[in-house]
């Protein structure tokens, strides 16, 4: 079910699409959407909300916002039966991918429904940077990280651009809620890796570091809540080690096709860690 008919224009030509993936976020989703709506820009942007069949009030709250801001928000209420299983486990991957496919903007940002933005010029700053630096495929920034015990700290980021050679040994930078990247996803959305690998944010990072340079910005843009029920955090150490090892193998097989990148990007460490877990060392 779609609250706003996709055949009708939300904005004439959104420059940026903000994709919000939400499930069971009734305590947080209003704060998330308010923070996105407060963005001050010189261009149009759209907010794509994928509501994944929550049984709390998340869906109801999303509908209120979609009806109040029809010129900006596009709400997709996903069918609970539309799920992608990875290694036999149900995930929110279908919702995530459909949000990306619906994005009409030249650039894309992501924000989970339990996180929010704290800089109302995030979009403007990152758009200007990417527009002035066409060789950069993804930009990220500093963010506030809230631990499980509710204490918070800033994850600092320096202003710098990472060259492709440097990125070969880096498998992740920043937090997904701080990213802005180019809407150049056609080859990724037809790649088998999106149905095989856990941690789609790691897949996106690996994909974009293969597309161009990646840049950090020192301003603090978002507030990230630690989710102890996340895919990896709810697993046993052995399962986590196995899945990290497998995702790096998938990067090699489906994205980089480079043995050098495979061996130097931390993959060897994750495979060694998995072997140790099997041997109980």
Q: Give the length of the chain.
A: 281
Assign domain 16-230 to a CATH class. alpha beta
Q: Are 252 and 234 in contact (CB under 8 A)?
A: no
pTM for this structure?
0.87
Q: What is the dihedral of CA 11, 24, 153, 17, to 10 degrees?
A: -20
Q: In the prediction, which pLDDT does 235 show? A: 57
In this predicted structure, what is the pLDDT of residue 7?
A: 35
Please give the backbone phi and psi of residue 47, each rounded to the nearest 5 degrees, phi first: -115, 115
CA separation (Å) from 15 to 29, 101, 104, 133? Answer: 23, 15, 8, 16
pLDDT of residue 15: 98
d(CA 214, CA 208): 8
Q: What was the pLDDT predicted at 260? A: 62
Cβ pair 9, 43 in contact under 8 A: no
The pLDDT, as a whole number, for residue 5 is 58
Burial classification of residue 203, based on how many CB atoms lie within 10 Å of its CB (0-12 exposed, 13-18 middle, 19 or more buried): buried
Distance CA 131, CA 249 (A): 33
Using only C-alpha atoms, the chain has a radius of gyration, in whole angstroms, of 19
212-to-133, 205, 246, 252 alpha-carbon distances in Å: 11, 11, 24, 17
**Contact yes or no for 62/78 (Cβ under 8 A):** no
As a whole number of angstroms, the distance between CA 180 and CA 107 comes to: 7
CA distance 175 to 263: 24
- Can you list the residues of the chain whose pLDDT is less than 70? 1-12, 228-238, 257-281
Q: Are 269 and 262 in contact (CB under 8 A)?
A: no
Please list, in sequence order, all residues whose beta carbon lies within 8 angstroms of the beta carbon of residue 105, skipping any fewer than 6 positions away.
Answer: 14, 15, 16, 17, 45, 46, 183
116 touches 223 (CB < 8 A): yes
Cα(120)–Cα(15) distance, integer angstroms: 16
Count CB-CB contacts under 10 A for residue 241.
20
């Amino acid at each position: 079910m779609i609250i706003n008919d996709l055949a009708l224009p939300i904005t004439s030509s959104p420059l940026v699409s903000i994709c919000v993936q939400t499930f069971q976020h009734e305590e947080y989703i209003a704060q998330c959407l308010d923070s996105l709506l407060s963005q001050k820009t010189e261009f149009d942007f759209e907010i794509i909300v994928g509501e994944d069949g929550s049984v709390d009030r998340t869906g109801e709250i999303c509908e209120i916002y979609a009806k109040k801001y029809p010129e900006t928000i596009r709400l997709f209420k996903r069918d609970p039966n539309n799920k992608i299983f990875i290694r036999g486990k149900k995930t929110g991957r279908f919702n995530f991918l459909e949000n990306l496919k619906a994005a009409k903007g030249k650039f894309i940002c992501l924000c989970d429904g339990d996180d929010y933005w704290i800089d109302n010029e995030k979009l403007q700053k990152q758009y200007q940077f990417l527009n002035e630096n066409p060789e950069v495929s993804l930009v990220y920034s500093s963010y506030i990280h809230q631990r499980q015990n509710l204490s918070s700290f800033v994850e600092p980021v320096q202003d710098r651009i990472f060259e492709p050679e440097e990125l070969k040994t880096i498998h992740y930078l920043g937090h997904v809620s701080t990213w802005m990247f180019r809407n150049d996803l056609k080859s990724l959305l037809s790649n088998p890796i999106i149905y095989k690998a856990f941690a789609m944010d790691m897949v996106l990072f690996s994909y974009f570091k293969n597309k161009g340079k990646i840049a950090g910005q020192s301003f603090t843009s978002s507030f990230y809540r630690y989710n102890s029920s996340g895919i990896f955090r709810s697993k046993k150490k052995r399962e986590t080690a196995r899945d990290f090892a497998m995702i790096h193998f998938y990067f090699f097989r489906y994205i980089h096709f480079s043995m050098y990148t495979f061996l130097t990007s931390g993959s060897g460490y994750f495979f060694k860690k998995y072997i140790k877990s099997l041997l109980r060392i």
